[in-house]
Amino acid sequence: MVDEQQVHQALREIQHPESGHSLMELGMVRDVRVDNRQVRFTVVLPFMNVPIKDQIVSEARAAVERLPEVEQVTVELAEMTQKERAHFMAAQEKRVGLAEQFNYIERVIAVMSGKGGVGKSLVAALLAIALKRESHKVGLLDADITGPSIPKMFFPTPKRPNNSAMGILPVETEMGIKVMSINLLLPREDEAVIWRGPLISTAIKQFWGDVFWDDLDYLIVDLPPGTADASLTVMQSIPLSGVVLVTSPQDLAAMVVRKAANMAQVMGVPILGVVENMSYVVCPDTGRRLEVFGPSKAEVMAAQLGVPLLGRLPIDPQIAQLCDEGRIEEYRSDAFAAITRRLAETVPKPRRPLFSQA
Residue 49 sits in a domain of what CATH number? Answer: 3.30.300.130
Considering the domain architecture, whether residues 167 and 257 belong to the same structural domain is answered as yes
Looking at 60, 91, 122, the residue that finishes a domain is: 91
Work out how many domains the chain is built from and give that number.
Answer: 2
Write down which residue in 40, 70, 91 finishes a domain: 91
Q: How confident is the model at residue 357 (pLDDT cuts 50, 70, 90)?
A: very low
Contact 311, 268 (CB under 8 A): no
Q: Clarify whether residues 153 and 250 are in a common domain.
A: yes
Does a structural domain hold residue 355?
A: no
Q: Is the pLDDT of residue 54 over 70?
A: yes
53 with 188, same domain: the answer is no
**64 shares a domain with 204:** no
Question: Is residue 358 situated within a structural domain?
Answer: no
Give pLDDT, residue 18.
66
Residues 104, 79 within the same domain: no
Q: Which residue has the higher pLDDT, 245 or 203?
A: 245
Q: Which of 154, 138, 119, 142 is nearest to 327 (CA)?
A: 154
Q: What is the pLDDT of residue 356?
A: 36
248 belongs to a structural domain: yes
- Are 142 and 238 found together in one domain? yes
In a domain, residue 20? The reply is: yes
In a domain, 39, yes or no: yes
With vertex at residue 167, the alpha carbon angle to CA 165 and CA 168, rounded to the nearest 5 degrees, is 125
Same domain (yes/no): 13, 60? yes
Instruction: Indicate if the pLDDT at residue 332 is higher than 60.
Output: yes
Q: Are 203 and 160 contained in the same domain? A: yes
* pLDDT tier, 186 (very low <50, low <70, confident <90, very high otherwise): confident
The pLDDT assigned to 352 comes to 42
| Average predicted confidence (pLDDT) for the chain | 84
pLDDT at 153 over 90: yes
The answer to the question of residue 357 being in a domain is no
Same domain, residue pair 201 and 338 = yes
142 and 47 share a domain? Answer: no
- CA–CA dist 245, 248 (Å, integer): 10
CB 350 within 8 Å of CB 218:
no
**Do 194 and 211 sit in the same domain of this protein?**
yes
Question: Residue 89: what pLDDT?
Answer: 72
Alpha-carbon distance of 90 to 32, in angstroms, equals 24
Pick from 20-29, 155-164, 195-204: least confident = 195-204
* pLDDT tens digits, one per residue of 84-120: 877 787 766 555 567 777 888 999 999 988 777 788 9
Residue 185 domain flag: yes
C-alpha angle 174-136-165 in degrees, rounded to nearest 5 = 70
Query: Per the domain annotation, does 241 fall within a domain?
Result: yes
Q: In which domain, by residue range, is 306 found?
A: 99-346
The predicted-structure confidence for 275-321, as pLDDT tens digits, reads as follows 998 888 888 888 888 888 888 888 888 888 888 999 888 888 888 89
Q: What is the pLDDT of residues 341-355, one digit of tens each?
A: 888 877 876 544 443
Give 222-262 pLDDT, tens digit per residue: 988 877 777 888 887 788 889 999 988 877 777 888 888 88
- pLDDT of amino acid 355: 38
pLDDT at 194 over 80: no
Check whether residue 137 and residue 264 sit in a common domain.
yes
| CATH assignment of the domain containing 163 | 3.40.50.300
pLDDT top residue among 122 and 85: 122
Q: Which of 91, 113, 130 is the last residue before a domain boundary?
A: 91
pLDDT at 10: 92
The predicted pLDDT at position 95 comes to 53
